[in-house]
Structure 1
Amino acid sequence: MRFFLTSVFISSLLVSYSAISAEIEAECIDNPNSPVMCAEPSYVEEKSDKRAAKEPQPTQKPSFSEQAQCVVVKGIASSKDVSEAFARKMAIRDALQQASLKNNVVVKTDQSVEAYQLTLDSARFTSSSKVKSFTVLKEGFEEPEDKYGATKKSPLNYEVTLNVCLTEERGVCPSLPGNQYQPRLAIAPVVFAHANQANDVSNLLNGYQLELERRVRNQGYKNYTLLNQVVDLQPNIQVSPNLDPELIAVLRDKTGAQYLLLTVIRSMSAHAESGLKNDVKRFYNLEVKPSSRYIETDWYMVDLMRNEIVHQSRGGFDVEGNVTVGRDKPFGSNAFFATDTGKVFHALLEQEVTDAIDYLHCKPFESEIIDVRGEEYIIYLNASSGAKVGDDLAVYHRTGRPVRFNGSLLGSDFVPGAFLKIKRIMPRFAVAELTAKKGLVQVGDVVKTW
């Protein structure tokens, strides 16, 4: 039976990154990824003893790799049919994209020759460098005359010159500009279709969800919510996420989540080994306790904005020993985790939570405009994501009709259309105002950190 861990998948749902300012008040702008601005390479004086301290020492220049971390690049954007503020932001985006190709670039080429003639010559550039901070050095419309003195056709392009510092540090997000928000995660109740395999464990489903929530919180993830909706399951039918757009829309509206974590316990089967001792017990109808158990879980990460499974993984362990828990040791208690079965679940929970948070790390934040009130725009996000008053957000318009093929909905096309600045942050939503636009901003438009 296919189901959506919220409406058809849930037998108990589980527990388990400021942007560029719209208007510049100072000459320099910090990259939202770092509060520290790029500084010119400094020179270091080394003094080995008291005598050396009195004598002037030659300066030691930074290494080549240190010098190459900061580059000066120019970004250009068209100002046709858009405001100056909008063109400026697009030029900054272009400059940051070019900066990432100034360091640690890998080039992949593809060439084909037929009859001594080059028929295919393509190249792909990729870089593992990430923008750590940047400073605006110069900005404004391009010169109205070209190098030959001829007047350029209007409208003029907007140009921005940036000093961009790059890094390859582990943990720094690869997204070029934009705020680093935590995408909102909904933790669904766990599903277990074979409840008879866990007769010796009490509070399994609810306890698993609450334990997921506790461990997600302990690992520093703040932007999450729990689902509490139970759905009947039929045994002996494969359980998998239901990606029905209507079900996902309901869940998205209810939680404001961008991702949904779904968990299925596939097996908790316990077995008793054959042997003379156990055979005698069976003959006299005595209890034969299981001595081994196989525990396996699957977890899925569903993108609620795109209606698709974007990540899934599986964990499983064989355990031997005293695998029977007892109803007096409910799931999640210290007594439960002290048992052989509890130790396996501890390992599985740690594996699932770590895997889920690692996947969410650096994923771009997305939300949507849910209401328009005069000059104010209501966005579905809260302070738990890391949003702050004054942050800039980019608005993307849905263009044309949704794309369908053979009865399947493939999605919609989006183009950047405006920029918003957050004015107020409420417990479950934020209020923003327009800073630049080139079209109408309306309910349903997608909001991103850039």
Structure 2
Amino acid sequence: MIRIAAALLFSLLSLSLHAVTMEAEGRALIFDKDIDSARQAAIKNATQQASLQASAIVSSTQSIDQGVLSIDNMQVSTLGMVSNIEIIDEKIQGRMLWVKVRADIDFEEGCAAGVSGHGYQKSVAVTAFPLLYPQQASLGALSNMPTELSSLLSNQINQTSNLRALNAGMLNVLEAPATAPTRQLSAGALTTVLDYTRQLDVQYIVSGVIRDISLYDSSVIDPQRNILVDLYNRLDYRSKRHLRTLVLDLYIHDGFSGALLFSKQYATAGRWNLEPEARPGFASAEFWRQDYGKQTRELLNQVAADLNDELRCMPFSARITKSEDNLLWFNAGALAGIKVGDKLTVYRKSNFYTDDMRSHIQLINTRKTMTVTEVQPMFAIGRLAEDGAIYNIQPDDVVISW
């Protein structure tokens, strides 16, 4: 018996983007004389083989039943993107269609342990960024910053990444900005876990706190200033005295468990040369013309890039919404990149309590694979080999692709 625990077949040629050309063979059974479907399945099998030959990680969960090794829950995660597929040979042998393909495998830096999420579009909700010191927003009338920043960040994520960002700027998930992301439980313990996540119905929740938007030198807006001081300030507009700070904290929480996955603080500064009485508002045309606005835009671009980098290697997951016999409905479909024939692993969601009666969410691997049979824009249906009731699979359980 050959035991397959985790076969590592990777050779990282470079951490930078590059491509190699591979040839591979694939096979598929012909059902009801449907040669086109068999050809598509054979090509898919061949491209997987090509990618595996170049660089891949194959992992599987095995079980032995009465001395027979069986593999039910297999996952294949390649470290490259397949393109320019060319069929160079094809033949039919009985009920089997055989193809040979040539394909380009484009590589970039791989994720740890081969996690790739299979290129599916992960969903994130970007919530409000409350101001730690709201009075600082009076200069320039930036009180709309907590909600508008969420909108800007959502748009930037959608334009520059494979994430689907939802603007939840009207929702503040951080109860106490001064101590975020930490909050105190009724029993006195501290935790970084969000209190509620279900209503957002996304994989990841992005939140944050705007820690500081003050001027370096508050004397430039001193209400007791005179005409000469105003004149000097206008002539000295390039001075560091006009710099305004922007410091914000960013948090990423898991949408199923509420666990804190990532946190980082960002800081920048730019010149603020508007009159103290000016009220442009955050994200207005006048705001963006300021050096402070330009520095703010660059910082948000960096935040969006970091979010993409951090979540790119996270697994893809979706919530099961319905279970009927061996069919499962889940809340991700064609818009997320789900296709008929895709395979996802089913996890059962449960709660457990620690000795101090604190509730935690646990995802338990059922070791069962669901094969997608029908895809709609916003949801899909998959089939299990056995009745889901055997494993007590219920709505709110999860399917995951590593």
What TM-score do the two structures reach when normalised by structure 2? Answer: 0.65
Determine the C-alpha separation between the residues in 2 that align with 1:238 and 1:271. Answer: 24
In 2 relative to 1, CA 73–226 (structure 1 residues): closer, same or farther, beyond 3 Å?
A: closer
> Is the Cα contact below 8 Å between 2:120 and 2:336 reproduced in 1?
yes
1:269 shift after superposition: 0.9
Question: Could you say which residue in structure 2 is the equivalent of 1:342?
Answer: 293
Q: Percent identity of the aligned residues? A: 19
Residue from 105, 108, 131 that aligns with 1:192: 131
Question: Could you say which residue in structure 2 is the equivalent of 1:65?
Answer: none
Q: How does 1:23-422 map to 2 (within 5 A)?
A: 25=29, 30=44, 35=47, 37-38=49-50, 69=54, 77-80=62-65, 87-90=70-73, 92-93=74-75, 130=79, 169-174=107-112, 175=114, 179-199=118-138, 200-202=140-142, 203-230=144-171, 237-240=178-181, 250-252=196-198, 254-272=199-217, 281=225, 291-320=242-271, 322=273, 329-397=280-348, 402=352, 404-409=354-359, 411-412=361-362, 414-422=364-372
Determine the C-alpha separation between the residues in 1 that align with 2:171 and 2:262. Answer: 24
1:76 shift after superposition: 8.6
Determine the C-alpha separation between the residues in 2 that align with 1:28 and 1:428. Answer: 28
Determine the C-alpha separation between the residues in 1 that align with 2:68 and 2:347. Answer: 16
Determine the C-alpha separation between the residues in 2 that align with 1:430 and 1:74. Answer: 25
Q: What secondary structure sits across from 1:322 in the alignment?
A: coil
Q: What secondary structure sits across from 1:381 in the alignment?
A: coil
> Is the Cα contact below 8 Å between 1:403 and 1:410 reproduced in 2?
yes
1:420 shift after superposition: 1.4
Determine the C-alpha separation between the residues in 1 that align with 2:56 and 2:250. Answer: 42
Determine the C-alpha separation between the residues in 2 that align with 1:295 and 1:82. Answer: 64
Determine the C-alpha separation between the residues in 2 that align with 1:311 and 1:219. Answer: 20
In 2 relative to 1, CA 294–307 (structure 1 residues): closer, same or farther, beyond 3 Å?
A: same
Determine the C-alpha separation between the residues in 2 that align with 1:29 and 1:325. Answer: 66
1:214 shift after superposition: 1.4
> Is the Cα contact below 8 Å between 2:370 and 2:383 reproduced in 1?
yes
* Structure (1 or 2) with the greater helix fraction: 2
> Is the Cα contact below 8 Å between 2:146 and 2:169 reproduced in 1?
no
Unaligned runs of 5+ in 1: 1-22, 41-67, 98-128, 134-164
CA deviations over 1:194-238 (Å, ceiling 9, x no partner): 222112134323321221111111103342222253459999944
Q: What secondary structure sits across from 1:335 in the alignment?
A: helix
In 2 relative to 1, CA 83–207 (structure 1 residues): closer, same or farther, beyond 3 Å?
A: farther
Determine the C-alpha separation between the residues in 2 that align with 1:305 and 1:365. Answer: 12
**Which one-letter code corresponds to 1:77 in the other structure?**
Q
In 2 relative to 1, CA 422–255 (structure 1 residues): closer, same or farther, beyond 3 Å?
A: farther
Determine the C-alpha separation between the residues in 2 that align with 1:201 and 1:177. Answer: 43
CA deviations over 1:162-212 (Å, ceiling 9, x no partner): xxx9x9932444536873323211111221132221121343233212211
CA deviations over 1:303-361 (Å, ceiling 9, x no partner): 12232111011111233452668755342234322202212211221121111111011
Question: Could you say which residue in structure 1 is the equivalent of 2:382?
Answer: 432
Determine the C-alpha separation between the residues in 2 that align with 1:74 and 1:278. Answer: 65
**Which one-letter code corresponds to 1:434 in the other structure?**
L
Determine the C-alpha separation between the residues in 2 that align with 1:178 and 1:281. Answer: 58
1:279 shift after superposition: 10
**Which one-letter code corresponds to 1:182 in the other structure?**
Q
Determine the C-alpha separation between the residues in 1 that align with 2:348 and 2:374. Answer: 23
1:387 shift after superposition: 1.2
| RMSD, aligned α-carbons | 4.7
